[in-house]
């Protein structure tokens, strides 16, 4: 028996813009970005695998719905996904999960979700935690997104009442 996450909002419960700092996804079949991350200085492939092993329910592999965006979205109807507020997904060119971030963005957009994706930022996974100028850039991007979509969020919330 598995438990649903207590942290991640569902399309029915999201009440604000969705802006994961560094969405982290995986899957059993490796993407090109994951294969090239064996010696990544922030998120090397063996550490990535260990994190998933520790995070997923016992007996689950990386194709579990908590890990793989394709599996996660396969069982969700587009009408339910459209209830999500506008989403911002930021990524970096050297980020190991970048291919899966693109997959998630494409699936959400196909379902009719408003998604702003900036996945070609210079640098590596979670760089804004280590570089002050990148942290300031990240904060500015999120603040701008929230400012521009504040009205959308209220309209989305009202339409679900």
pLDDT of the residue at 21 = 55
Token output for 44: 């090397």
What is the reported pLDDT for 10? Answer: 41
pLDDT of res. 23: 63
Q: Are 59 and 143 in contact (CB under 8 A)?
A: no
Q: According to the model, what pLDDT value does residue 20 have? A: 52
Domains delineated in the chain: 32-159 (3.40.50.1820)
Q: What is the pLDDT along the chain (161 residues), one digit of tens a residue?
A: 333 333 333 444 334 444 455 567 899 999 999 999 999 888 899 999 999 999 999 999 999 998 998 998 888 998 999 999 999 998 888 888 889 999 999 999 999 999 999 888 888 888 888 889 988 999 999 999 999 998 765 555 555 54
CB 104 within 8 A of CB 71: no
State residue 63's pLDDT score.
95
Burial bucket for residue 67 (CB in 10 Å: 0-12, 13-18, 19+): buried
State residue 8's pLDDT score.
Answer: 39
Pairing of strands 87-94, 115-124: parallel
Burial class of residue 97 (count of CB atoms within 10 Å of its CB; 0-12, 13-18, 19+): buried
CB atoms within 10 A of CB 40: 19
């Amino acid at each position: 028996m598995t438990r649903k996450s207590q942290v991640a909002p569902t399309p029915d419960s999201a009440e604000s813009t969705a802006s994961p700092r560094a969405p982290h996804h995986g899957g059993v079949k490796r993407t090109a970005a994951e294969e090239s991350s064996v010696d990544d200085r922030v998120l090397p492939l063996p550490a990535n695998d260990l994190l998933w092993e520790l995070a997923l329910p016992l007996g689950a592999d990386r194709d579990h719905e908590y890990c793989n965006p394709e599996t996660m979205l396969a069982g969700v109807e587009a009408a339910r996904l459209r209830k999500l507020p506008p989403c911002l997904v930021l990524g970096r060119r050297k980020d190991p999960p970048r291919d899966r971030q693109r997959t998630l963005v494409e699936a959400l957009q196909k379902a009719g979700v408003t998604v702003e994706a900036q996945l070609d930022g210079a640098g590596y996974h979670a760089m804004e935690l280590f570089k002050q100028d990148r942290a300031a850039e990240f904060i500015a991007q999120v603040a701008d997104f929230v400012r521009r979509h504040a009205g959308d969020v209220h309209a989305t919330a009202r339409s679900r009442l």
